[in-house]
Chain A
Amino acid sequence: MKLFTKYNRINLVATIIIFLFSSAAFYVAIRYILVSQVDDDLRIEQREIETYVKGHNVLPEAISVKDQKIDYHLVSERLKKREFKTVDGFDQEDKEKSSYRVLQFGLNAGDKQYDVTVAKSLEGTDDLADSILLITSTTILLILIVSFLINRFLLRRLWKPFYDALGTVKKFKIDKKQSLNFPSTNIEEFSFMNQILEKATRQAQEDYLLLKEFTENASHEMQTPLAIMRSKLDLLIQGENLSEEQTKTIQSTYQAIEKLARLNQSLLLLAKIENNQFAGTSLVNFKQKIEEKIDSFNELWQNQNIAISQSLKDVSVKMNPELADILLNNLLSNATRHNFSQGSIRIELTDENMKIINSSSQKELDQQRLFSRFYKQPEGKGQNGLGLSIIKQICDVSGFSVCYSFDGKQHFFTISWRN
Chain B
Amino acid sequence: MIEDEKELSDSICAYLANEQFICERALDFHSAVEKISLYEYACIILDINLPDGNGLEILRELKKGNKLDGVLIISARNSLDDKVFALKAGADDYLTKPFHLPELSARVAAIIRRKSFEGKTQVSLNELTLDLSEKTVHVNDKPVDLTRKEYELLLYFISNKNKVIAKNAIAEHLWGDNMDLADNYDFIYTHIKNLRKKLIQAGAADYIKSIYGMGYKFNS
- Residue in B98, B169, B178, B182 whose beta carbon sits within 8 Å of that of A227 in the complex: B98
Q: How far is the CB of B27 from chain A (nearest CB, A)?
A: 14
The count of chain A contact residues (Cβ–Cβ below 8 Å) is 50
Q: Which residues of A contact B213 (CB under 8 A)?
A: 244, 247-248, 251
- A 238-257 contacts with B by CB, 8 A: 238, 242, 244, 247-248, 250-251, 254-255, 257
Q: What's the Cα separation between A250 and B169 when bound, in Å?
A: 14
Q: Is A367 an interface residue (CB 8 A)?
A: no
Q: Is the CB of A227 within 8 A of B97?
A: yes
State whether A223 touches B76 (Cβ < 8 A): yes
Distance in angstroms from A206 CB to nearest chain B CB is 20
Measured between alpha carbons, how far is A219 from B163 in the docked complex, in Å? 30
B14, B80, B212: the one contacting A235 at CB < 8 Å is: B14
Query: Which residues of B from 146 to 196 have beta carbons under 8 Å from A?
Result: 149, 163-164, 166, 168-169, 175, 177-184, 186-187, 190
Query: Are the C-beta atoms of B214 and A303 separated by less than 8 Å?
Result: no
Chain A contact residues, majority secondary structure: helix
Q: Is B201 positioned at the interface, with any CB of A under 8 Å from its CB?
A: no
Q: Which residues in B have their C-beta under 8 angstroms from that of A296?
A: 175, 179
A226-B183 contact in complex given A220-B49, A231-B11, C-beta closer than 8 Å: no
The size of the chain B interface, using a CB distance under 8 A, is: 45
Assess whether B166 is in contact with A237, with CB atoms less than 8 Å apart. Answer: yes
Question: Contact between B98 and A254 (Cβ–Cβ < 8 Å)?
Answer: no
- Digitize A248-281: 1 where CB-to-B-CB distance is under 8 Å, 0 elsewhere: 1011001101100110010010001000010000
- The docked-state distance in angstroms from the alpha carbon of A300 to that of B171 is 12
Q: Give the CA-CA distance A379 to B28 in the complex, in Å.
A: 48
Judge whether A232 is part of the interface by a CB distance below 8 angstroms. yes
Q: Which of B77, B164, B182, B214 contacts A219 (CB 8 A)?
A: B77
* Given the contacts A237-B166, A244-B213, A250-B214, A223 and B98 also touching, CB distance less than 8 Å: yes
Cβ A303 vs Cβ B163 within 8 A = no
Residue B34 at the chain A interface, CB threshold 8 Å: no
- In the complex formed, the residue of A with least CB distance to B191 is A299
Residue contacts A-B, CB under 8 angstroms, 29 given: A220-B49, A224-B8, A226-B98, A227-B5, A227-B99, A230-B98, A231-B12, A231-B101, A232-B11, A237-B211, A238-B164, A242-B214, A244-B213, A247-B212, A247-B214, A251-B214, A254-B166, A258-B168, A265-B177, A268-B78, A300-B187, A303-B186, A303-B190, A304-B186, A322-B80, A329-B178, A333-B180, A333-B181, A336-B181
Closest 9 CB pairs of A and B: A231-B11, A223-B76, A227-B98, A226-B98, A220-B76, A234-B101, A223-B97, A227-B97, A303-B187
Chain B residues proximal to chain A, CB less than 8 Å: 5, 7-8, 11-12, 14-15, 18, 49, 74, 76-80, 96-102, 149, 163-164, 166, 168-169, 175, 177-184, 186-187, 190, 211-215
